[in-house]
A and B are shown apart, each in its own frame.
Chain A
Amino acid sequence: MKTLIEIFRNTPPGNACLILTKNVLSVVYGESFDDKIDEKMDITTKDFEVQLHPFPSKIAEENGIEGAPSIYINRKLKIYGVISPEEIKGLIEKAKPVKIGIIITKTPNANEDVENILAIGEEALKVGNQVELFLISDGVWVGKRGNTLTEKRLLNLINDGCKVKASRMHLKACGLNKEKLVDGVTISDEPYEDLVDLVMEQWGKVVIF
């Protein structure tokens, strides 16, 4: 996944803005950085996407940027002022997206647990993390098509890139099957096998509800 770095600069960019831009580009290009690189253009490389935005501007306002020069990394970390390439490298590491696994074991209508956990998933996606849901035990009801509490939210999550998997053995116990599930929910034939792999190898962080 590419790291998105947005640089907000005054118009026309002052000295501080130009130094910050150069520092960002030296990180993006590493050893092949050339002072002559045209830093007026947006840049896409294998690992980075760099966008230059004016400040003040609509995009700055939408993202709550309060000053320039500043950088916004992966829409997660905002830093104001000129910082060194070393500092930028550290912040890029800090802003890396986290893969968050959410295990749901409860029905959506029993209490507010499922509403709250879906909200966590939605917020985590918004700030640039990856989110996956695993529905097991009574949690498989969360995947059911037509549930007025969850269907729309689940569809939105899936559209935003969230993977949702449901345990076949628990679906079967509840009389549910593929046809009765929201589009995009996939079925795990071996839930414990899959869950152990997700928890131990795939997900950076896990929450269980």
Chain B
Amino acid sequence: MTKTITLLLHRGPYESEYADLAVNFALKAREKGYNVNLWLYGDGVWTPHVKNEKDYPNVGEHLRKALKDGVNVKICSRCAEARDVVKDDIIEGIPMVGLFDFTDWLDNSDKVLTFMR
């Protein structure tokens, strides 16, 4: 049975390297055939807010590729609401959902990595 990993990203893009670490890990794990879940929590909800092209490393672009490759990405709806991050502002195709979805992922994961603080 294919193994599953859940990644929790609690940091925003460009304030540290965590967004890049989490998304790059997700991309590589997906490429190697694992089921990958990426939960955007706290300031992590800013990651899909990076929508435009950049002439430096672009975590939004990597996130878009991760979605295309089949990484399951979800945003904590309360964290998004607190920051006024709305659907129109972010990369398409990422559901804003309640924490229950995350605990459900935890229940069904072989491994969990948290990128926070």
The answer to whether the Cβ of A196 comes within 8 Å of any Cβ in the partner chain is yes
Q: Are A193 and B115 in contact (CB under 8 A)?
A: no
Instruction: State in angstroms the CA–CA spacing of A196 and B83 once bound together.
Output: 32
Instruction: State in angstroms the CA–CA spacing of A197 and B3 once bound together.
Output: 12
Interface of B is mostly: mixed
Binds A, one of B20-28, B66-74, B93-101: B20-28
The answer to whether the Cβ of B32 comes within 8 Å of any Cβ in the partner chain is yes
Given contacts A136-B21, A137-B17, A200-B34, contact A192 B28 (CB under 8 A): yes
Residues of A within 8 A of B110 (CB): 200
Q: Are A196 and B113 in contact (CB under 8 A)?
A: no
| Per-residue contact bits, chain B 95-109, to A (CB 8 Å; 1 contact, 0 not) | 000000000000000
Instruction: State in angstroms the CA–CA spacing of A206 and B115 once bound together.
Output: 13
Q: Are A196 and B21 in contact (CB under 8 A)?
A: no
Interface size on A, residues (CB 8 A): 14
Instruction: State in angstroms the CA–CA spacing of A127 and B100 once bound together.
Output: 37
User: How far apart are B1's CB and chain A's nearest CB, in angstroms?
Assistant: 13
Q: Are B21 and A137 in contact (CB under 8 A)?
A: yes
Instruction: State in angstroms the CA–CA spacing of A36 and B25 once bound together.
Output: 57
Residues of B within 8 A of A199 (CB): 5, 29, 111, 113
Residues of A within 8 A of B28 (CB): 192-193, 195-196
Residues of A within 8 A of B21 (CB): 105, 136-137
Size class of the B contact interface (CB-based, 8 Å): 10 to 19
Q: Are A192 and B25 in contact (CB under 8 A)?
A: yes
Q: Are B113 and A206 in contact (CB under 8 A)?
A: yes
Interface of A is mostly: helix
User: How far apart are A206's CB and chain B's nearest CB, in angstroms?
Assistant: 6
Residues of A within 8 A of B115 (CB): 105, 208
The answer to whether the Cβ of B18 comes within 8 Å of any Cβ in the partner chain is yes
Instruction: State in angstroms the CA–CA spacing of A136 and B115 once bound together.
Output: 13
User: How far apart are B108's CB and chain A's nearest CB, in angstroms?
Assistant: 15
Instruction: State in angstroms the CA–CA spacing of A209 and B52 once bound together.
Output: 31
Instruction: State in angstroms the CA–CA spacing of A103 and B28 once bound together.
Output: 17
User: How far apart are B42's CB and chain A's nearest CB, in angstroms?
Assistant: 16
User: How far apart are A164's CB and chain B's nearest CB, in angstroms?
Assistant: 18
Chain A interfacial positions (CB closer than 8 Å to B): 103, 105, 136-138, 192-193, 195-197, 199-200, 206, 208
Extra contacts besides A197-B32, A208-B115 (9): CB < 8 Å: A137-B17, A192-B24, A192-B25, A193-B32, A196-B25, A199-B113, A200-B29, A206-B113, A208-B114
Chain B interfacial positions (CB closer than 8 Å to A): 3, 5, 17-18, 21, 24-25, 27-29, 32, 34, 110-115
A-B contacts, 8 of them at CB < 8 A, read A138-B17, A193-B28, A195-B28, A197-B32, A199-B5, A200-B5, A200-B111, A208-B115
**Closest 4 pairs between A and B when the two form their complex, measured CB to CB:** A192-B28, A137-B17, A196-B29, A196-B28
